[in-house]
Amino acid sequence: MGKPQDTVLASMRPIMRRLLEMYGLDSGALARRAGIVLPEVIGPTDRIAADKADAVLQLAIPLIRDPAFGLQVARCWHPANLGVLGYAWLSSSTLRTGLRRMERYHRLIGDRGATEIEEVPRGIKVRFWGKRGDPAEVPVAAVVVDMAIALLLDMCRMNAGAALRPLAVSLRRRKPESTAPYEHFFGCPVRFGAAENFFVLSRDDADALLPSSNKQLATVFDSMLGAELALHDKSDVIARCRAAVLEHLTSGEVSEEETAKLLHMSPRTLQRKLAEASLTYQQLVDATRRDLALRYVVDAGRSISDITFSLGFSQPSAFTRAFKRWTGSSPTDYRAGRAAVTAA
Protein backbone atom coordinates (compact mmCIF):
# COMPACT_ATOMS: atom_id res chain seq x y z
CA MET A 1 0.00 0.00 0.00
CA GLY A 2 1.38 3.43 -0.91
CA LYS A 3 1.05 6.78 0.71
CA PRO A 4 -2.55 7.68 1.64
CA GLN A 5 -4.19 9.60 -1.18
CA ASP A 6 -4.68 13.35 -0.81
CA THR A 7 -8.30 14.41 -1.18
CA VAL A 8 -10.39 17.57 -1.41
CA LEU A 9 -13.93 18.22 -0.17
CA ALA A 10 -16.35 17.28 -2.96
CA SER A 11 -18.58 20.27 -2.22
CA MET A 12 -15.74 22.47 -3.51
CA ARG A 13 -16.38 21.04 -6.99
CA PRO A 14 -19.20 23.54 -7.78
CA ILE A 15 -16.69 26.37 -7.33
CA MET A 16 -14.51 24.89 -10.06
CA ARG A 17 -17.54 24.29 -12.26
CA ARG A 18 -18.68 27.92 -12.01
CA LEU A 19 -15.15 29.18 -12.64
CA LEU A 20 -14.63 27.11 -15.78
CA GLU A 21 -18.09 27.92 -17.12
CA MET A 22 -17.29 31.65 -16.79
CA TYR A 23 -14.74 30.99 -19.54
CA GLY A 24 -17.10 28.95 -21.72
CA LEU A 25 -15.66 25.54 -20.85
CA ASP A 26 -17.63 22.33 -20.40
CA SER A 27 -16.65 21.56 -16.81
CA GLY A 28 -18.49 18.23 -16.87
CA ALA A 29 -16.53 17.01 -19.88
CA LEU A 30 -13.23 18.07 -18.32
CA ALA A 31 -14.16 16.36 -15.05
CA ARG A 32 -15.00 13.12 -16.88
CA ARG A 33 -11.66 13.26 -18.75
CA ALA A 34 -9.97 13.66 -15.35
CA GLY A 35 -11.82 10.61 -14.03
CA ILE A 36 -14.15 12.44 -11.64
CA VAL A 37 -17.56 10.82 -11.24
CA LEU A 38 -19.83 12.32 -8.58
CA PRO A 39 -23.27 11.21 -7.40
CA GLU A 40 -26.20 13.49 -8.14
CA VAL A 41 -26.39 14.41 -4.45
CA ILE A 42 -23.03 15.20 -2.82
CA GLY A 43 -22.78 14.27 0.85
CA PRO A 44 -21.34 16.82 3.31
CA THR A 45 -18.19 14.77 3.87
CA ASP A 46 -17.73 13.28 0.36
CA ARG A 47 -14.26 13.81 -1.05
CA ILE A 48 -12.45 13.77 -4.43
CA ALA A 49 -8.90 12.64 -5.11
CA ALA A 50 -6.71 15.76 -5.21
CA ASP A 51 -4.83 14.38 -8.25
CA LYS A 52 -8.08 14.29 -10.22
CA ALA A 53 -9.06 17.80 -9.16
CA ASP A 54 -5.63 19.02 -10.26
CA ALA A 55 -6.03 17.15 -13.54
CA VAL A 56 -9.13 19.25 -14.34
CA LEU A 57 -7.03 22.39 -13.95
CA GLN A 58 -4.24 20.92 -16.08
CA LEU A 59 -6.77 20.35 -18.87
CA ALA A 60 -8.32 23.80 -18.48
CA ILE A 61 -5.22 26.01 -18.25
CA PRO A 62 -4.23 25.76 -21.96
CA LEU A 63 -7.83 26.59 -22.94
CA ILE A 64 -8.09 29.83 -20.94
CA ARG A 65 -6.40 32.95 -22.25
CA ASP A 66 -6.63 34.90 -18.99
CA PRO A 67 -3.43 34.15 -16.95
CA ALA A 68 -5.10 35.56 -13.82
CA PHE A 69 -8.29 33.51 -14.15
CA GLY A 70 -7.75 31.88 -10.75
CA LEU A 71 -8.62 35.17 -9.06
CA GLN A 72 -12.16 34.87 -10.42
CA VAL A 73 -12.82 32.10 -7.91
CA ALA A 74 -13.84 34.95 -5.59
CA ARG A 75 -17.00 35.27 -7.70
CA CYS A 76 -17.79 31.56 -7.64
CA TRP A 77 -17.90 30.39 -4.04
CA HIS A 78 -20.54 30.14 -1.31
CA PRO A 79 -19.97 29.34 2.39
CA ALA A 80 -21.82 26.04 1.86
CA ASN A 81 -19.02 24.91 -0.46
CA LEU A 82 -16.72 24.84 2.57
CA GLY A 83 -19.02 22.57 4.57
CA VAL A 84 -19.28 23.21 8.31
CA LEU A 85 -16.14 25.34 8.14
CA GLY A 86 -17.97 27.82 5.90
CA TYR A 87 -20.66 28.39 8.51
CA ALA A 88 -18.12 28.49 11.33
CA TRP A 89 -16.34 31.20 9.34
CA LEU A 90 -19.51 33.29 9.12
CA SER A 91 -20.02 33.10 12.89
CA SER A 92 -16.46 34.15 13.77
CA SER A 93 -16.17 37.19 16.02
CA THR A 94 -13.19 38.70 14.15
CA LEU A 95 -11.18 37.98 11.01
CA ARG A 96 -8.36 36.83 13.28
CA THR A 97 -10.51 34.14 14.95
CA GLY A 98 -11.96 33.11 11.57
CA LEU A 99 -8.52 32.77 10.00
CA ARG A 100 -7.31 30.79 12.99
CA ARG A 101 -10.17 28.38 12.32
CA MET A 102 -9.04 28.08 8.72
CA GLU A 103 -5.52 27.34 9.94
CA ARG A 104 -6.74 24.69 12.39
CA TYR A 105 -9.22 22.92 10.13
CA HIS A 106 -7.84 23.49 6.61
CA ARG A 107 -7.35 19.73 6.08
CA LEU A 108 -11.12 19.34 5.99
CA ILE A 109 -11.15 21.43 2.81
CA GLY A 110 -8.20 19.68 1.21
CA ASP A 111 -5.13 17.70 2.20
CA ARG A 112 -2.92 19.26 -0.47
CA GLY A 113 -2.53 22.77 0.83
CA ALA A 114 -2.15 24.60 4.13
CA THR A 115 -3.18 27.98 5.54
CA GLU A 116 -0.97 29.51 8.22
CA ILE A 117 -1.40 32.65 10.30
CA GLU A 118 1.58 34.59 11.64
CA GLU A 119 1.77 37.68 13.81
CA VAL A 120 3.81 40.44 12.15
CA PRO A 121 4.51 44.02 13.32
CA ARG A 122 1.78 45.55 11.13
CA GLY A 123 -0.90 42.93 11.81
CA ILE A 124 -1.30 39.32 10.70
CA LYS A 125 0.20 37.49 7.74
CA VAL A 126 -2.10 34.98 6.01
CA ARG A 127 0.14 32.45 4.27
CA PHE A 128 -0.83 29.65 1.88
CA TRP A 129 1.29 26.65 0.87
CA GLY A 130 -0.06 24.86 -2.20
CA LYS A 131 2.11 21.73 -1.90
CA ARG A 132 2.12 21.23 -5.67
CA GLY A 133 5.63 22.32 -6.52
CA ASP A 134 7.07 25.77 -7.18
CA PRO A 135 4.39 28.17 -8.52
CA ALA A 136 7.14 29.89 -10.50
CA GLU A 137 7.66 26.68 -12.48
CA VAL A 138 4.44 24.63 -12.24
CA PRO A 139 1.34 26.20 -13.90
CA VAL A 140 -1.16 24.23 -11.81
CA ALA A 141 0.63 25.26 -8.63
CA ALA A 142 0.43 28.94 -9.64
CA VAL A 143 -3.30 28.77 -10.44
CA VAL A 144 -4.09 26.89 -7.22
CA VAL A 145 -2.29 29.57 -5.20
CA ASP A 146 -4.18 32.34 -7.04
CA MET A 147 -7.45 30.57 -6.27
CA ALA A 148 -6.64 29.93 -2.62
CA ILE A 149 -5.36 33.43 -1.85
CA ALA A 150 -8.29 35.01 -3.70
CA LEU A 151 -10.76 32.81 -1.82
CA LEU A 152 -9.21 33.57 1.57
CA LEU A 153 -9.29 37.32 0.94
CA ASP A 154 -12.85 37.25 -0.41
CA MET A 155 -13.94 35.30 2.67
CA CYS A 156 -12.53 38.15 4.74
CA ARG A 157 -14.36 40.68 2.58
CA MET A 158 -17.63 38.79 2.94
CA ASN A 159 -17.44 39.24 6.71
CA ALA A 160 -15.71 42.62 6.97
CA GLY A 161 -16.93 44.39 3.83
CA ALA A 162 -15.86 44.72 0.20
CA ALA A 163 -13.67 47.74 0.96
CA LEU A 164 -11.17 45.58 2.87
CA ARG A 165 -7.65 45.98 1.46
CA PRO A 166 -4.55 44.08 2.54
CA LEU A 167 -1.42 46.01 3.46
CA ALA A 168 0.80 43.82 1.29
CA VAL A 169 0.56 40.82 -1.05
CA SER A 170 3.36 38.50 -2.17
CA LEU A 171 3.17 35.56 -4.57
CA ARG A 172 5.78 32.97 -5.52
CA ARG A 173 4.59 32.80 -9.12
CA ARG A 174 6.51 34.54 -11.92
CA LYS A 175 5.55 38.13 -12.64
CA PRO A 176 2.89 38.09 -15.40
CA GLU A 177 3.01 40.34 -18.41
CA SER A 178 0.19 42.39 -16.89
CA THR A 179 -0.03 42.83 -13.14
CA ALA A 180 -3.19 44.94 -13.41
CA PRO A 181 -5.69 42.10 -12.64
CA TYR A 182 -3.82 41.32 -9.43
CA GLU A 183 -3.48 44.92 -8.31
CA HIS A 184 -7.15 45.55 -9.09
CA PHE A 185 -8.31 42.49 -7.14
CA PHE A 186 -6.13 42.99 -4.08
CA GLY A 187 -6.27 46.78 -4.08
CA CYS A 188 -2.55 47.16 -3.41
CA PRO A 189 0.79 46.48 -5.12
CA VAL A 190 1.63 42.79 -5.52
CA ARG A 191 5.13 41.38 -5.26
CA PHE A 192 5.89 38.43 -7.57
CA GLY A 193 8.70 35.87 -7.40
CA ALA A 194 8.59 36.04 -3.61
CA ALA A 195 9.60 33.33 -1.15
CA GLU A 196 6.04 32.83 0.12
CA ASN A 197 2.40 33.30 -0.88
CA PHE A 198 0.68 35.64 1.56
CA PHE A 199 -1.28 38.79 2.25
CA VAL A 200 -1.08 40.98 5.35
CA LEU A 201 -4.09 42.43 7.14
CA SER A 202 -3.77 45.38 9.49
CA ARG A 203 -4.29 44.73 13.18
CA ASP A 204 -7.35 47.00 13.15
CA ASP A 205 -8.96 45.00 10.34
CA ALA A 206 -8.01 41.66 11.90
CA ASP A 207 -9.46 42.49 15.31
CA ALA A 208 -12.56 44.52 14.42
CA LEU A 209 -15.76 42.91 15.74
CA LEU A 210 -17.73 41.46 12.82
CA PRO A 211 -21.49 42.04 12.41
CA SER A 212 -22.04 38.32 11.70
CA SER A 213 -20.35 37.28 14.97
CA ASN A 214 -22.19 34.58 16.94
CA LYS A 215 -20.15 32.95 19.70
CA GLN A 216 -22.84 30.38 20.54
CA LEU A 217 -23.01 29.11 16.97
CA ALA A 218 -19.23 29.24 16.65
CA THR A 219 -18.88 26.96 19.68
CA VAL A 220 -21.29 24.44 18.16
CA PHE A 221 -19.52 24.52 14.81
CA ASP A 222 -16.10 24.11 16.45
CA SER A 223 -17.35 20.97 18.16
CA MET A 224 -18.57 19.60 14.84
CA LEU A 225 -15.32 20.53 13.11
CA GLY A 226 -13.25 18.86 15.80
CA ALA A 227 -15.21 15.63 15.36
CA GLU A 228 -14.86 15.81 11.56
CA LEU A 229 -11.13 16.41 11.78
CA ALA A 230 -10.62 13.52 14.18
CA LEU A 231 -12.51 11.24 11.80
CA HIS A 232 -10.60 12.54 8.78
CA ASP A 233 -7.22 12.07 10.46
CA LYS A 234 -7.95 8.75 12.11
CA SER A 235 -6.73 6.69 9.16
CA ASP A 236 -3.91 9.08 8.24
CA VAL A 237 -1.11 7.73 10.37
CA ILE A 238 1.45 9.72 8.39
CA ALA A 239 -0.19 13.03 9.30
CA ARG A 240 -0.65 11.99 12.92
CA CYS A 241 2.93 10.81 13.20
CA ARG A 242 4.25 14.00 11.60
CA ALA A 243 2.12 16.10 13.97
CA ALA A 244 3.57 14.25 16.96
CA VAL A 245 7.12 14.80 15.66
CA LEU A 246 6.43 18.51 15.07
CA GLU A 247 5.01 18.96 18.55
CA HIS A 248 8.13 17.60 20.22
CA LEU A 249 10.91 18.76 17.87
CA THR A 250 11.92 21.74 20.00
CA SER A 251 12.79 19.44 22.90
CA GLY A 252 14.96 17.24 20.68
CA GLU A 253 14.17 14.41 18.30
CA VAL A 254 11.45 12.23 19.79
CA SER A 255 12.11 8.49 19.52
CA GLU A 256 10.03 6.05 17.51
CA GLU A 257 8.94 4.35 20.74
CA GLU A 258 7.83 7.67 22.27
CA THR A 259 5.92 8.64 19.12
CA ALA A 260 4.17 5.26 18.99
CA LYS A 261 3.08 5.77 22.59
CA LEU A 262 1.73 9.24 21.76
CA LEU A 263 -0.29 7.67 18.91
CA HIS A 264 -1.59 4.92 21.22
CA MET A 265 -0.03 2.08 19.25
CA SER A 266 2.91 -0.26 19.60
CA PRO A 267 6.26 0.55 17.93
CA ARG A 268 5.80 -2.52 15.71
CA THR A 269 2.37 -1.29 14.55
CA LEU A 270 3.79 2.15 13.79
CA GLN A 271 6.65 0.58 11.82
CA ARG A 272 4.20 -1.54 9.83
CA LYS A 273 1.92 1.41 8.99
CA LEU A 274 4.86 3.56 7.93
CA ALA A 275 6.22 0.71 5.83
CA GLU A 276 2.85 0.51 4.05
CA ALA A 277 3.54 4.10 2.94
CA SER A 278 7.12 3.14 1.93
CA LEU A 279 8.55 5.15 4.83
CA THR A 280 10.72 4.56 7.85
CA TYR A 281 10.36 6.60 11.00
CA GLN A 282 13.73 8.27 10.45
CA GLN A 283 12.79 9.21 6.88
CA LEU A 284 9.59 10.84 8.16
CA VAL A 285 11.49 12.81 10.83
CA ASP A 286 14.09 13.88 8.27
CA ALA A 287 11.46 15.00 5.75
CA THR A 288 9.55 16.90 8.44
CA ARG A 289 12.69 18.71 9.52
CA ARG A 290 13.65 19.47 5.93
CA ASP A 291 10.23 20.98 5.10
CA LEU A 292 10.35 23.20 8.18
CA ALA A 293 13.98 24.16 7.59
CA LEU A 294 13.28 25.36 4.04
CA ARG A 295 10.37 27.40 5.32
CA TYR A 296 12.23 28.90 8.28
CA VAL A 297 15.49 29.72 6.53
CA VAL A 298 13.87 32.10 4.02
CA ASP A 299 12.45 34.11 6.96
CA ALA A 300 15.13 36.75 7.56
CA GLY A 301 13.59 37.47 10.96
CA ARG A 302 14.69 34.09 12.32
CA SER A 303 18.30 33.51 13.30
CA ILE A 304 20.07 30.31 12.30
CA SER A 305 20.54 29.51 16.00
CA ASP A 306 16.79 29.87 16.63
CA ILE A 307 16.01 27.59 13.68
CA THR A 308 18.59 25.06 14.89
CA PHE A 309 16.93 24.59 18.24
CA SER A 310 13.38 24.87 16.86
CA LEU A 311 14.15 21.80 14.75
CA GLY A 312 15.62 19.86 17.66
CA PHE A 313 19.28 19.97 16.63
CA SER A 314 21.75 20.15 19.51
CA GLN A 315 24.04 22.68 17.84
CA PRO A 316 24.24 24.82 14.66
CA SER A 317 26.94 22.65 13.11
CA ALA A 318 24.62 19.62 13.19
CA PHE A 319 21.86 21.64 11.53
CA THR A 320 24.27 22.97 8.89
CA ARG A 321 25.41 19.44 8.00
CA ALA A 322 21.81 18.27 7.64
CA PHE A 323 20.84 21.33 5.58
CA LYS A 324 23.76 20.80 3.21
CA ARG A 325 22.66 17.19 2.79
CA TRP A 326 19.14 18.35 1.91
CA THR A 327 19.99 21.27 -0.40
CA GLY A 328 23.70 21.23 -1.17
CA SER A 329 24.07 24.68 0.44
CA SER A 330 24.59 26.00 3.94
CA PRO A 331 21.57 27.72 5.58
CA THR A 332 23.30 31.10 5.27
CA ASP A 333 24.11 30.67 1.57
CA TYR A 334 20.62 29.34 0.83
CA ARG A 335 19.03 32.36 2.53
CA ALA A 336 21.27 34.78 0.65
CA GLY A 337 20.46 33.06 -2.66
CA ARG A 338 16.69 33.25 -2.07
CA ALA A 339 16.98 36.91 -1.03
CA ALA A 340 18.87 37.70 -4.23
CA VAL A 341 16.24 35.98 -6.39
CA THR A 342 13.42 37.85 -4.62
CA ALA A 343 15.17 41.21 -4.99
CA ALA A 344 15.89 40.68 -8.70
pLDDT band per the 50, 70, 90 thresholds, residue 236:
low
* CA separation, residue 289 to residues 58, 243, 258, 309, 323 (Å): 31, 12, 18, 11, 9
The reported pLDDT for the residue numbered 1 is 34
Q: How far is 224 from 88, CA to CA, in rounded Å?
A: 10
Please check the confidence at residue 196 and state whether its pLDDT lies above 50. yes
Per-residue pLDDT at 25: 97
Cβ neighbours for 264, distance < 8 A, ≥ 6 positions apart: none
Say whether pTM exceeds 0.75.
no
Whether residue 110 has pLDDT greater than 70: yes
Task: Say if residue 111's pLDDT is above 60.
Answer: yes
- Asked if residues 309 and 302 have their Cβ atoms less than 8 Å apart, the reply is no
Evaluate if residue 230 carries a pLDDT over 50. Answer: yes
Give the pLDDT confidence of 24-66 residue by residue, as tens digits. Answer: 999 999 999 999 887 666 777 788 999 999 999 999 999 999 9
Encode the chain in three state secondary structure: CCCCCCEEEHHHHHHHHHHHHHCCCCHHHHHHHCCCCCCCCCCCCCEEEHHHHHHHHHHHHHHCCCCCHHHHHHHCCCHHHHCHHHHHHHCCCCHHHHHHHHHHHHHHCECCCEEEEEEECCEEEEEEECCCCCCCCCHHHHHHHHHHHHHHHHHHHHHHCCCCCCCEEECCCCCCCCCHHHHHHHCCCEECCCCCCEEEEEHHHHHCCCCCCCHHHHHHHHHHHHHHHHHHHHCCHHHHHHHHHHHHHHHCCCCHHHHHHHCCCCHHHHHHHHHHCCCCHHHHHHHHHHHHHHHHHCCCCCCHHHHHHHCCCCCHHHHHHHHHHHHCCCHHHHHHHHHHHHHC
- Give the per-residue pLDDT at 44: 77
Q: Say which residues have a Cβ less than 8 Å from residue 294's Cβ, sequence separation at least 6.
A: 326, 327
Percent of the chain past pLDDT 90, that is, above it, reads: 60
**If you average pLDDT over each of 15-24, 233-242, 260-269, which comes out highest?**
15-24
Give the β-pairing of 190-191 and 168-170. Answer: parallel
Q: What pLDDT score does 228 carry?
A: 83
Nearest 5 degrees, angle CA 198-CA 141-CA 228?
A: 75
Q: What is the pLDDT of residue 23?
A: 97
Q: Among 147-151, 195-199, 264-268, whose mean pLDDT is lowest?
A: 264-268
For residue 34, what are the CA distances in angstroms to 30, 294, 300?
6, 32, 41
Does 235 have pLDDT greater than 60? no
pLDDT given at position 141: 94
Least confident range from 108-112, 173-177, 299-303: namely 299-303
Report CA torsion sign: 252, 282, 106, 108: negative
For position 73, what pLDDT does the model report? 97
Q: Which CATH class is domain 236-343?
A: mainly alpha
Measured between alpha carbons, how far apart are the two ends of the chain, in Å? 45
pLDDT of residue 342: 55
Domain with CATH 1.10.10.60 in the chain: 236-343
